[in-house]
Amino acid sequence: MSPHLTKPQYWFAAGAITTTLVALAVARWLPIAGETALLVTINQQWASPWADKFFIWISERETFTAPLLLLILAVLIKNHGLNGLKLWGLLALAITLGDQLGNLLKELFSQPRPCAVIFDLIRQPKHPAGGSCGAMTTGTPSSHALNFFLTATFLGLTLRSLRWFTPLLLIAIAVGLSRIYLGVHYPSQVVLGGMLGVLMGAATACLCRRYLPFISVMQPGPKPAAAERTENR
């Protein structure tokens, strides 16, 4: 596999960067017109006891995110051995950087979460008493969306596998939706987080494929000579 970007990859990267920069430029004006109504619709009309439990569970780092990362680690090691462990370490590093970027942008944009400003209009299944957003009251972008879309994009591109990308993408969409359903993010905050996650995931995957030969060993298709030498060491 060539380490250089193909023409479709180049245009995808250029489009992702341009779109994200435009989104960041208009982030000062979030939330956008009409999305409060969309938020209230998802938060109120979709409400049910099972949906409350499901979206709270899928949104929790301790009960969902951490077990999912451990499952990814186990599958990577089972399928790829030490190389799988290395790839998981790179994923963990990318997620850490994503968290830091999300927190930095939250401070930069200082856009409030809906649970901090329209708590009288929405349900808060995690905090039935209402009026609680936790320690972080700013919400642009959604770090949950950023990190889950980053994970799906990074693993999908480094492993060149729809078997990885498709389920992780569906999980990322569900997690992003959970943040809206729970009333802790506006839809635009989730969309911006997802866009940043795709951009970061694609960028880190391209860097790994360019400079880390062991990545090629893990991908389908013929292995380049450099990758074979790395595998035989």
Each residue's pLDDT tens digit, 139-190: 889 999 999 999 999 999 999 999 999 999 999 999 999 999 999 999 999 9
pLDDT at position 110, please? 82
> What is the CATH number assigned to the segment(s) 7-232?
1.20.144
pLDDT at position 77, please? 96
Amino acid identity for residue 71 in this structure: L
Taking the domains of the chain in order of start, what are their residue ranges? 7-232
Cα end-to-end distance, the chain, whole Å = 20
Give the 3-state DSSP-derived string for the chain, with helices as H, strands as E and coil as C: CCCCCCHHHHHHHHHHHHHHHHHHHHHHHCCCCCHHHHHHHHHHHCCCHHHHHHHHHHHCHHHHHHHHHHHHHHHHHHHHCHHHHHHHHHHHHHHHHHHHHHHHHHHHHCCECHHHHCCCCCCCCCCCCCCCCCCCCECCCCHHHHHHHHHHHHHHHHCCCHHHHHHHHHHHHHHHHHHHHCCCCCHHHHHHHHHHHHHHHHHHHHHHHHHCCHHHHCCCCCCCHHHHHHHHC
One pLDDT digit (tens) per residue for the chain, 233 residues = 444 556 666 666 666 666 666 666 655 565 666 788 999 999 999 999 999 999 999 999 999 999 999 999 999 999 999 999 999 999 999 999 999 999 998 888 888 899 888 888 899 888 765 556 766 788 889 999 999 999 999 999 999 999 999 999 999 999 999 999 999 999 999 999 999 999 999 999 989 988 999 998 886 654 444 444 444 45
pLDDT at position 117, please? 86
Which two three-digit tokens encode residue 96?
């850490």
Q: How far apart are CA 76 and CA 191, in angstroms?
A: 29
